[in-house]
Amino acid sequence: MQPSDESASVNAQEITWGSSAPSVPDNKPVIDPDNPPWGIISAVLVWLGSFILLGVIPAIFLLFYAVRKGLAPTSPDFQHAIAELTLSDTTAIFYLVLGNLPAHLLTVVLVWAVVTGLGKRPFWKTIGWGWGRYFGLWASIASGAILFLAGTIVAKVLGGDKQTQLEQILNSSIAARYAIAFLATFTAPFVEEFVYRGILYSAFQRLIGRVGGVIFVVALFTAVHVPQYRPNYGVIAAVGLLSLWLTIIRAVSRRLLPCFVIHLVFNGIQSLIIVLGPHFTPPTVAPNQAAIILWCVHLLRFLV
């Protein structure tokens, strides 16, 4: 006896429903963080944009403070006057540090625009925000703590007690110290992971492979931190170690969330030491701080 058309239809539905193959809507794009919708040019432009924002926005904050202090931008010796102000006024240094906050926020907006195509794609899935292979929450937290310990040892062995430019700014005032601790914990891990291992690594590994992408991102991340940590090359080596581990985790897990948590724990421990450290140096403004803060002063010639 031949089955009726109705029975055949029911059996077909049962076979379809019982199948283990997932149903994927037609024409729905597969989101792969290692095959991003942006290319090398867009990635480099995002990095350049973040770099420019970190220079221009603090300089604008400094300009605002200088005008409040009575310095006239139209004065022929304005640049010299603002340089003297920056080297002698701890509040001016605080304004420079504070300018990093809107710079970070604007960088996130820039990253969002590229990742989503101005809202056409989901941000978190496209950038790879999730737990990857081998690294969940607790593994990432433990990794961040161990990495901080390893970085501290490397810094002590290779750099000794040489004071970095960042430490000089930390010691300029309590306000600057708290501001840097806040930025290092709550905004820098987001911004740096979005830009370096979210945008740059994804694009470059597709072009030159995973190993090439890791080498490129590690070198670039380490290089941009040299000005704030010189002349202590032990600290620079520790930053390179951090970058190497984070980028390897990104390459292996193919996700960004473990990198963010590791970076957050690493910076969070450092920030806790900054805020609660028992050996706080009295506020001073050393003459050799010029190497890290006068670059903002030079930018003012393009702003006034």
The string of pLDDT tens digits covering residues 27-81 is 566 789 999 999 999 999 999 999 999 989 998 998 899 888 888 878 888 877 8
> Could you tell me if residue 237 is inside a domain?
yes
Tokens representing 280 are: 């706080």
Quote the pLDDT of residue 292: 41
Task: Confirm whether 84 is domain-assigned.
Answer: yes
Q: How many domains does the chain have?
A: 1
Give every CB contact of residue 29 below 8 A, 6+ residues apart in sequence.
none
Q: What is the mean pLDDT of residues 199-228?
A: 93
281 lies in some domain:
yes
Q: Outline where DSSP puts E strands in the chain.
A: none
Query: How many helices, marked H, and strands, marked E, lie in the chain?
Result: 15, 0
Q: Is residue 195 part of a domain?
A: yes
pLDDT per residue as tens digits for the range 241-284: 999 999 999 999 999 999 999 999 999 999 998 888 645 444 43
Calpha distance 268→271 (Å, rounded): 5
Residue 47 lies in a domain: yes
Could you tell me if residue 58 is inside a domain? yes
DSSP state of 132: -
pLDDT at 302 > cutoff 60: no
Q: How far apart are CA 247 and CA 215, in angstroms?
A: 9
| pLDDT tens profile 152-211 | 999 888 876 777 777 777 777 888 889 989 999 999 999 999 999 999 999 999 999 999
What is the rounded average pLDDT for all residues in the chain? 82
* Closest C-alpha among 200, 197, 217, 209 to residue 263: 197
Model-level pTM greater than 0.85?
A: no
> Does residue 8 belong to any structural domain of this protein?
no
Q: What's the pLDDT at 27?
A: 59
Within a domain: 32: no
In terms of residue numbers, what domain contains 52?
37-302
